[in-house]
Amino acid sequence: MLSDMETHGALDPTDAAGQLAGLRADRERLAERVVPPWWYDPALGVVVFLLVSALSFRDAGWWYFADLAVGIVGLGVLVQTYRRITGVWVSGLRAGETRRVIHVWLVAYALVVGAAAVAEFGFGLRGAMVVAGAVLGVAITFLGRWWTRLYVAELRGEL
């Protein structure tokens, strides 16, 4: 059976308008669904804190591995929880307006970890990576909210 497009060469304007309205409604539903719960970004901040600060525990035996393990498991739990709650996974590295947030994160991460690494490993200032983890944990909390706002605005056609 041939579709309208195959038999007439184009969609009926009424059908096209209906399909476009359906797509807009789908994007609006997705925009409402992708916003994580209030605790998600702070929990991601805790995970970042654990993973970055682990380097300060490098000589602390099992504490180092425990810190890393809790951070890695926490990251996995957050990913699975987000997928369960929203039904989707959106790559943070996707193209679009959200790319600005990723660039800010990468620059902040490089500067903070670089400075902390120089302090901790170059000058022997133990705990500098813990401070870096705390700074980056707070930063990712706010950057995650910014990223979500930009993504939702994109879905709604506001950008």
Per-residue pLDDT tens, the chain, 159 aa: give them. Answer: 555 555 555 668 888 778 877 777 777 888 889 999 999 999 999 999 999 999 988 888 888 999 999 999 999 999 999 999 999 999 989 999 999 999 999 999 999 999 999 999 999 999 999 999 999 999 999 999 999 999 999 989 887
- The amino acid sitting at 17 is A
| Domain contains 9 | no
| Domain contains 21 | no
Q: Which domain holds residue 44?
A: 32-88+95-155
| Domain contains 143 | yes
Q: pTM of the full predicted structure?
A: 0.84
pLDDT of 45: 98
Is 117 in a helix, a strand, or coil? helix
| Domain contains 20 | no
Per the structure, how many domains does the chain have?
1
Longest dimension (CA), the chain: 76
